[in-house]
Amino acid sequence: MHALIVCSALRCIAALAMIFLISVIAPSLLDTGESEVQTIIVLAFFVFCALTLASNEPDPVFGFLSIPVLTQFIHLFEKYDFPAGAMSIWRLLPFLLMLVFLFDKLSKRSFILSKETRTGIAAWILMHLLFLLITPKPGEVVFAGCLFYILLLPLSFLFLQNVSVESSFLIWIENSLCLLFFVLGLGTIGLVVAGSQYKGSTNLLVTRNIADTNVTMAYFILLWPFVLLYCRRNRERLVRLAGIVMLLIMVVISFSRGSVLLMVPYLLLTLTLDGSFRYIAALLFVIGIIAMLRPDLMHTDAAGELAYSWKLRIEDFMTGTQSAGKLHQISGRSEIHATALRIFYESPVIGSGISSFEVLGPGYREAHSLFYTLLAEEGILGTAYFYFLLYIVAQELGSKILYNTACQLLFASFIFYLIFNHTVGSVFVILPRKSLTINCIAPILILGQYFYAQDLRTSARFTG
């Protein structure tokens, strides 16, 4: 992992240096964004992506996995100063570079696809072509939809299938996803801090949308098992403890009631499966010591703002009848789901098309539920097909669940991810027509879990 950190840091320096030199020659280039600093960072990120994907390293996994994670940050950092939405080149360029990378890698490798794989990929492509063609105002999303559904995800599947046969694949993916867990955490904290200073934000709760912390929790659910697996393989106690702290911080700054109800049991379950439950006791002990030595920390402005923001999130829930239905009602999801059903009834078989809920509904990117989003956008046909794919993934992750700790962790992660998708919000591929971020991390992380579990099953390595 140390080599990954050093190489990434050197690429960051090289990218910034290149953009600085270009800006000296063409200073008008820096007038694109809100400020010169913002423009330099955005342009340097594109160069960083190109350098990362063009590097010929023994580990081909990290560069591929890192781009969608880092792109999530750059989308939010661009804000609305650069054109937003699914068709903007400012949003799509990193993924176009990923596409070039995949074409290059796959063209240099020879492999034979099984009949089941060919059939599955063909069905995926044909079905999503249909859903893209029937969507209202297709010009806004067809190009991006084809990029993600028709090209990027099928090629990502083939790429990970191909590299998963390498003897170092398990180590590659553990190192990469463990590092990206901390990158995602530190970046999210940075966005929250920056968002709290952004114009129009009156309290930290506003940063929940600025930093997209609600959606980010789903990525932490998928990444967390690899932190534990990396720490177990390398006997990294401090990294494990740092990961627990990071996960708890993410829950606090998510300002999501659903995240608290999901992430606390998830953390306790995964630590129990990993045999690391004692770390919770150690963490509570440290917190207790800090509280005794520095009781004034709870009275700082930052602590007060956190408490105030959380008070706003729970005060409605604490009044009146307390129940799961109460949370569902006050969050507005009942009305959103009713709208999704109305759209579904208008075209129950094939739905209204990918990204149609934002146009035909109340303007949200999705229906705050994977099930209702699929019903509205892909109808019975797409919903049944998608849940069949989820069943295949669950079957692979649970294939050795009784006697393989790694599979137990992955299976728990996948189940909690599905619970998140059906209660808090749908996090798969989101192609916004107006908002900031194109989300494409979750499907690639699921593919990573799938091939990791498949390698565990076929090679019988690292059974735990």
Which sequence spans correspond to the domains of the chain?
2-293+333-459
Model pLDDT, residue 322: 47
* pLDDT, tens digit (0-9, with 9 covering 90-100), for 102-130: 999 898 877 778 888 899 999 999 999 99
Q: What is the pLDDT of residue 294?
A: 58
Model pLDDT, residue 189? 84
Residue 430: beta bridge partners? 439
pLDDT digit string, tens, across residues 374-406: 999 999 999 999 999 999 999 999 888 877 889
| pLDDT on residue 386 | 95
Taking 50 as the threshold, does the pLDDT of residue 462 lie above it? no
| 329: pLDDT strictly greater than 80 | no
Q: Which residues contact 11 (CB under 8 A, 6 or more apart)?
A: 48, 51, 52, 55
Given this model, what pLDDT does residue 6 score? 87
Give the bridge partners for 439, in sequence order.
Answer: 430
Q: What percent of the chain has pLDDT over 70?
A: 85
Residues 206-234 have a mean pLDDT of 84
In angstroms, the CA 269 to CA 275 distance is 10
SS3 content of the chain, % helix, strand, coil (to 5): 75, 0, 25
pTM for this model (two decimals): 0.89
Instruction: Please give the pLDDT value at position 356.
Output: 92
What pLDDT, in 10s, does the model give residues 142-172?
Answer: 999 999 999 999 999 999 999 998 888 999 9
